[in-house]
Chains A and B, each alone.
Chain A
């Protein structure tokens, strides 16, 4: 049995000092361990916007430690059964909101059907963070430079949420309203993320530039390209780190549509993506550098997608 040591006593300079172990990094809150989705939504409804959902806690707990947030109530959803299930179906993949990043990255259907998602997750924090962090938490946190919101926009994910008024489905393009701001109401939680199936032979690419491994991206770019008869039938390009929310480079996507995927088309699309963004300057990078990265990384992900479509088609 390990002894309890609520206080630490030491003798220094002949004086008995007692360090009372009540120093707390996070501000005080009421903790509710929800046993079901209904428990969680009613706890959120009861506390009218002054409650936060605790999933993996990999963004929330650091923010509490910094006292950037002081919610009255934390609703812990980690014990809600079945919320972490990853399931293939006819339409694609249904990912439970509580699926941990590492679990998702190493799940066979993700590797086989959404390799771009597995590649993106590899850039989220560090392994010990990926062991705790969840996809639902990442989407709800909505960091402008985070990988999973970017992939949700890229793949046109549908985000299934539930609140006191019942469930609803929000398209990824309508979900992210700004930096750390989503379409979730105060009493709603994400329960599932539906990823539509990609056409067979879809090529993909993911690239990001960070100052250090595991940091949020200065710029991240992801693409999928589907081809038929040597022509692009659908190109999707998504960008993070260049605005308040992840966005699609729709002008660049249009440049590729109906074209053969070759150097000229890729150059034109990269140029178009770069010209369309209006990034801001901050401590980490200038707007010009970010714009430059958008052009370079868009070229790289489209080349990667090209290689992969060619390989899979042959």
Chain B
């Protein structure tokens, strides 16, 4: 069954015909070519596919594209300001917050959402809030450092 979906992705109005069973992450990656959002597990375990839908962090592998009809979606491609990285992206670079990089888009999107809700997170809060994002390089220590630095940069 084909349906038409329309939404705003990274500030641009997009619309397309998709099969009803298309996951939001498949729509972003396969139809829009926005391959920054990764698919790790398909089952909400790993957090590689975290994006923002109407301002809240969600896992795009467990949401249908159809459910994002009319929504405002932001992916990792939409957080930088032109050639200037988002302060959280910059903090990940400065603090060696990525190794293989597979989890990084989801980490950054979760981190931005976290700092939006908690502008001044301490280490314990950062670690607790990262419960839904897995890094199989186990590089958590520098990810936590990156988020703390990113939070400071976002505040200034």
Contacts and interface: CB of A to CB of B under 8 A. Distances in A.
**Bound together:** yes
A92 interface: no
Which size class do B's interface residues fall under? 35 or more
Interface string A124-140: 01111101100000000
Contact of B62 (A21, A31, A33, A132): A132
Interface in B1-46: 1, 3, 9-10, 12-14, 16, 19-23, 26, 30-34, 42-44
Contacts of A33: 66, 69
B131 A31 contact: no
B67 interface: yes
B72 to A, nearest CB: 14
A8 B31 CA distance: 10
Nearest to A26: B21
B114 to A, nearest CB: 8
A14 interface: no
A314 interface: no
Nearest to A2: B32
Contacts of A3: 32-33
B108 interface: no
A58 B62 contact: yes
A131 B57 contact: yes
A65 interface: yes
B42 A31 contact: no
Contact of A128 (B42, B43, B47): B47
A43 to B, nearest CB: 14
Most A CB within 10 A of own CB, among B23, B110, B129: B23
Contact of A25 (B1, B42, B58, B59): B42
Interface residues of A, number: 39
A8 B59 CA distance: 24
Contact of A4 (B1, B31, B61): B31
A1 interface: yes
A57 B14 CA distance: 23
A66 B3 CA distance: 23
Nearest to A63: B43
**What DSSP secondary structure best describes chain A's contact surface?**
loop
A240 to B, nearest CB: 20
Contact of A66 (B26, B34, B43, B66): B43
A39 interface: no
Interface in A104-126: 125-126
Contacts of B110: 127-128
A129 B31 contact: no
B20 A29 contact: yes
Contacts of B22: 24
Contacts of A61: 23, 61-64
Contacts of B121: none
Interface in A25-53: 25-31, 33
Contacts of B47: 126, 128
B121 to A, nearest CB: 13
A76 B132 contact: no
Given A5-B31, A26-B21, A58 B44 contact: yes
B112 to A, nearest CB: 12
A64 interface: yes
Given A25-B21, A129-B44, 18 more contacts: A1-B12, A2-B10, A3-B32, A5-B32, A25-B26, A28-B20, A29-B21, A57-B67, A65-B43, A102-B56, A126-B132, A128-B50, A128-B132, A129-B59, A131-B56, A132-B58, A214-B131, A214-B132
15 contacts: A1-B14, A2-B33, A2-B34, A5-B31, A21-B31, A24-B21, A25-B21, A27-B21, A65-B62, A102-B56, A126-B44, A126-B47, A131-B57, A213-B128, A214-B131
